Amino acid sequence: MYSGLLHAHSGLRWLVLIFLIVAIANAFSKKKSGVWTPKDRKLSAMAMGMVHLQFVIGLVLYFISPKVSFTEGFMQNDVLRFYAVEHISMMIVAIALISIGHSKAKKAAIDSKKFGAIATFYLIGLIIMLASIPWPFRNLGGAWF
């Protein structure tokens, strides 16, 4: 079960990043004079939904992963500290920002404000996510897939 969830979490990361980038690019391209359409709403909802699905899988992994250990001295170990504290904390902040952006876009009365909320909050969330992914070059035990 652990191996399957880990592969799902690693592979789904790419879909999350693609959906976020497409939603952000769409929002920036229509921010000045675009009209909010059902396609725009669906795109931002799909990006947020993918992020939330990734979070649920990650949360399950958090409780069953051998990389998350609260043994004595875990804070001195870069890998254990990253997975137990840094990765989940930063991802929760990123997911919260994306959720706030989606909510603000739904509530905004002006289309430019809808696109602005998506562009701003999704972009900040994406940057935080990119900073907290265990990329292989960071030597934290992460892989490309």
Per-residue pLDDT of 13-60, as tens digits, reads 999 999 999 999 999 999 988 899 999 999 999 999 999 999 999 999
In a domain, 12, yes or no: yes
The boundaries of the domain holding residue 81 are 2-138
The helix, strand and coil proportions of the chain, stated in percent and rounded to the nearest 5, come to: 80, 0, 20
- For the chain, how many structural domains are there in total? 1
Among 24-28, 36-40, 71-75, 97-101, the range scoring the smallest mean pLDDT is 71-75
In a domain, 145, yes or no: no
Using alpha carbons, select from 15, 30, 18 the residue that is nearest to residue 119: 30
Q: What is the pTM of this model?
A: 0.93
- Rounded Cα distance between 99 and 2, Å, is 28
Dihedral angle sign, alpha carbons of residues 96, 23, 31, 132: positive
In a domain, 143, yes or no: no
In a domain, 98, yes or no: yes
123 and 31 in contact (C-beta within 8 Å)? no
